[in-house]
């Protein structure tokens, strides 16, 4: 939040995952180049660069206007009301209004069409200038309704809204299972274990998950004999001395 300290994202591995995606894209691009020219090349990317690419227009805004965007919490700096609001049951709902038309639909859904006559909220620019007032009004209204009812009502009236999912919500949503976003895979130790599916899915080669890895050391013997070329007596010697 604006008055709070910098925070790490929900997943500390975000940079690792993003860099993996960029590296894979770079590898595919390099292979396409190889197929056309016969020339290979090195794919070079740093962890910070992957995240840096996700920062929207921060670089251009600073260069052109000299503005440094500080922490903004969950609000949208370019639109209001556009934030996360707590419902009656304690769950959180994202509501977004990026135009006058959407704002008109929102206030009518709220049963407060008189807000359209308020000069403070007559345009997106003025709503941003009076963000605290309009988002406080929306927050008070949201607290009067359970999250599921809130989202359904907003969507029925054409207002972009969504429940902010926990992983438990994802497990309860059949769409995740039907899409294969969550799949169950047999394991040696804990039985069937839910994990994330293959993304993206291709029509001809959709991919699949065969296993999540064996027990620790499950492949040792094949590595020692087939990869390292060790003989049985050598392996036995290493075991006796606690090397393996």
Q: Which residues pair with 93 in a beta bridge?
A: 85, 163
CA–CA dist 154, 64 (Å, integer): 38
Does the active-site annotation cover 89?
no
Q: Which residues pair with 96 in a beta bridge?
A: 82
DSSP string, 2-40: TTS-----S-TTHHHHHHHHHHHHHHHHHHHHHHHHS--
Other C-beta atoms closer than 10 Å to the C-beta of 90 total: 9
Distance of CA 76 to the CA centre of its chain: 17
CB of 106 closer than 8 Å to CB of 159:
yes
Active site residues: 16
């Amino acid at each position: 939040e604006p008055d709070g300290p910098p925070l790490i994202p929900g997943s500390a591995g975000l940079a690792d995952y993003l860099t993996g995606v960029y590296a894979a894209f770079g590898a595919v691009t390099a292979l396409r180049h190889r197929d056309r020219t016969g020339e290979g090349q090195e794919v070079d990317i740093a962890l910070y660069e992957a995240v840096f690419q996700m920062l929207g227009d921060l670089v251009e805004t600073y260069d052109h206007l000299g503005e440094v965007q500080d922490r903004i919490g969950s609000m949208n700096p370019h639109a209001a009301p556009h934030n996360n609001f707590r419902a009656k049951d304690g769950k959180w709902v994202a509501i977004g209004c990026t135009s006058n038309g959407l704002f008109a639909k929102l206030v009518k859904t709220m049963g407060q069409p008189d807000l359209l006559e308020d000069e403070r909220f007559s345009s997106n620019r003025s709503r941003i200038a009076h963000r605290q007032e309009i988002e406080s009004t929306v927050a008070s209204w949201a607290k009067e309704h359970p999250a599921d009812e809130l989202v359904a009502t907003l969507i029925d009236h054409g207002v972009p809204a969504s429940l902010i999912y926990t992983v438990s919500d994802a497990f309860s949503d059949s769409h995740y299972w039907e899409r294969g976003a969550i799949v169950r895979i047999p394991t040696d130790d804990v039985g069937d274990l839910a994990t994330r599916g293959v993304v993206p899915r291709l029509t001809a080669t959709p991919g699949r998950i065969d296993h999540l890895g064996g027990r620790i050391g499950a492949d040792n013997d094949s590595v020692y004999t087939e990869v390292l070329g060790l003989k049985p007596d050598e392996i036995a010697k290493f075991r006796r001395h606690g090397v393996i």
